[in-house]
């Protein structure tokens, strides 16, 4: 009897311990994020002192840190999800690698002069005064950060650039009226909603089709891989050199689009020559099975994910600290600053905020994007990663607006929809043209029930539920952040808490 009571007590204690650990797992990330924001506030206070406007600067630093946390939680998933979804990297290694390269990109290439009004979305001359400008920037930061937080909770990868642009648009209109907006820039952003995913999807699908029809569907797979993989890896290397020059290192090295493409071609040729002996040696270790060819793309997928993270860190850190730098400069000068240099302490808040948000909240969205939209292997992950780089190059050369987030997700849709199309064609062709007798699998020769064939016609390899959620979030991003920022700006202006001496 005593033993039974003791067992019950132990079970109760075990239950209490399990509940405590579960709650700790939920509370710990929020506690660490709050600690980071407190440290960001102290860093801003230490850098600026208790002079005039210090409360505005500290508040803006905390909000900028909150924005950086949400960028890390949401946007970095697009870079690492192909590597995780294809099981090239574990989630832990992917998050660690992304944190290192995001921070490096932000610190090395993210600290030059930035426009204070998010790509010219609001004309500085139209702002009434420095207080109105600071009010609009604060409202934009809060609105964009809240939207990213909500999108992450809903499992929707959205564009951080579009989020901050919508916030600046709404805050600027609330402060200075409709005439303050540059509607030409707004139309270009709307165009990128369509151009980015379509271009990314088409390029990714084209590369996957090329690999399937020239290597994976060939009788001599390994021989075809030995001939063609060096060119594909060289193309990736050259594309990423051009991509980094145009996007990741644009604030450090100023080169034209065609110069970047020319350097990329040189790297392509050199890499192709260098990869030939390595691929030939590696092919000798592989079996003739289709999935074994994917091992040749392991290193390119990892390198591509790292370089995408570097470029993302160098560019999107400005979405968190660009408005912060504008507020800081305007408060110190007591007047509206058309251009603002990012101080080192603000740059560190942005870089560390992105990495912290990634480490604490990034795995959820990385898993969703990498495995729940469509199934990835290393060949498909290679096509998605390569498409992200080439799409930016093509868009830059044509002067088209582009969103890296929409491009990456569009590439995922592209490879999934191509697989779906090819699978349906294969299955449908079996029914009207098969010889008399029971249907058989075209590869294994095993009998295939007719009802199973008919059911397979309706098989979806891209989950429509996630696709519709993501597209809806894209369409809502700019209007949602604009409306929230406008309301916040009006509330701040009515309260009179923003005073610039």
Tell me which of 28-32, 63-67, 158-162, 457-461 is least confident: 457-461
pLDDT over 80 at 51, yes or no: no
- The half-sphere exposure of 35 on its side-chain side, counting CA atoms within 13 A, is 8
CB 358 within 8 A of CB 72: yes
In order, the DSSP letters of 388-415 are: HHHHHHHHHHHT----HHHHHHHHHHHH
| Domain segments of the chain as ranges | 35-495
Of 352, 367, 479, residue with least CA distance to 67: 352
Say how far apart CA 149 and CA 142 lie, in whole Å.
Answer: 11
Of 320, 384, 390, residue with least CA distance to 75: 320
Dihedral sign (CA 260, 263, 269, 275): negative
pLDDT confidence of 434, banded at 50, 70, 90? very low
Say how far apart CA 95 and CA 414 lie, in whole Å.
Answer: 25
Encode pLDDT of 380-394 as tens digits: 999 999 998 898 888
* pLDDT, position 1: 47
* pLDDT, position 255: 82
Say how far apart CA 232 and CA 227 lie, in whole Å.
Answer: 10
Say how far apart CA 238 and CA 393 lie, in whole Å.
Answer: 11
CB 245 within 8 A of CB 303: no
Say how far apart CA 21 and CA 43 lie, in whole Å.
Answer: 32
CB 119 within 8 A of CB 166: no
Q: What's the CA dihedral at 305, 306, 311, 317 to 10 degrees?
A: 100
CB 359 within 8 A of CB 95: yes
* pLDDT, position 288: 60
Say how far apart CA 349 and CA 330 lie, in whole Å.
Answer: 19
pLDDT over 70 at 459, yes or no: no
pTM (predicted TM-score): 0.84
Of 459, 458, 453, residue with least CA distance to 431: 453
């Amino acid at each position: 009897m005593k033993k039974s009571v003791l067992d019950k007590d132990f079970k109760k204690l075990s239950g209490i311990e399990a509940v405590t650990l579960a709650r700790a797992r939920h509370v710990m990330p929020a506690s660490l994020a709050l600690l980071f924001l407190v440290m960001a506030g102290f860093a801003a206070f230490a850098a600026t002192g208790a002079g005039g406007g210090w409360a505005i600067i500290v508040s803006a630093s905390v909000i900028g840190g909150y924005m950086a946390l949400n960028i890390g939680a949401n946007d970095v998933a697009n870079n690492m999800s192909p590597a995780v979804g294809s099981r090239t990297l574990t989630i832990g290694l992917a998050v660690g690698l992304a944190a290192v390269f995001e921070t490096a990109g932000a610190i090395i290439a993210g600290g030059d002069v930035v426009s204070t009004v998010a790509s010219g979305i609001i004309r500085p001359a139209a702002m009434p005064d420095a207080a109105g400008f600071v009010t609009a920037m604060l409202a934009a930061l809060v609105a964009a950060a809240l939207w990213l937080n909500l999108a992450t909770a809903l499992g929707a990868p959205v564009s951080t650039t579009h989020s901050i642009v919508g916030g600046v648009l709404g805050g600027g209109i609330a402060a200075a009226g409709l005439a303050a907006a540059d509607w030409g820039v707004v139309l270009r952003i709307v165009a990128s909603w369509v151009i980015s995913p379509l271009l990314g999807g088409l390029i990714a699908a084209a590369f996957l089709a090329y690999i399937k029809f020239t290597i994976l569907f060939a009788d001599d797979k390994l021989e075809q891989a030995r001939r063609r993989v060096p060119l594909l890896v060289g193309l990736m290397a050259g594309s990423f050199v051009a991509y980094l020059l145009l996007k990741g290192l644009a604030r450090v090295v100023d080169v034209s689009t065609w110069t970047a493409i020319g350097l990329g071609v040189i790297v392509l040729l050199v890499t192709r020559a260098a990869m030939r002996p390595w691929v030939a040696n590696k092919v000798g270790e592989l079996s003739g099975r289709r999935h074994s060819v994917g091992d040749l793309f392991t290193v390119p997928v990892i390198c591509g994910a790292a370089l995408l993270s570097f470029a993302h860190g160098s560019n999107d850190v400005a979405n968190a600290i660009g408005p912060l730098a504008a507020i800081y400069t305007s408060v110190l000068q007591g007047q509206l600053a058309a251009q603002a240099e990012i101080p080192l302490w603000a740059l560190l808040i942005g870089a560390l905020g992105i990495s912290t948000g990634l480490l604490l909240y990034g795995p959820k969205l990385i898993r969703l994007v990498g495995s729940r939209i469509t199934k990835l292997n290393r060949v498909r992950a290679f096509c998605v990663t390569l498409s992200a780089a080439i799409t930016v190059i093509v868009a830059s050369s044509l002067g088209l607006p582009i969103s890296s987030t929409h491009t990456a997700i569009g590439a995922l849709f592209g490879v999934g929809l191509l697989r779906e199309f090819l699978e349906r064609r294969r299955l449908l062709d079996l029914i009207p043209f098969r010889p008399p007798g029971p249907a058989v699998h075209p590869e294994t020769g095993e009998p295939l029930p007719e009802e199973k064939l008919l059911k397979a016609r309706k098989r979806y390899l891209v989950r429509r539920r996630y696709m519709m959620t993501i597209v809806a979030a894209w369409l809502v991003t700019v209007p949602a952040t604009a409306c929230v920022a406008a309301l916040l700006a009006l509330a701040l202006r009515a309260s009179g808490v923003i005073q610039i001496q």
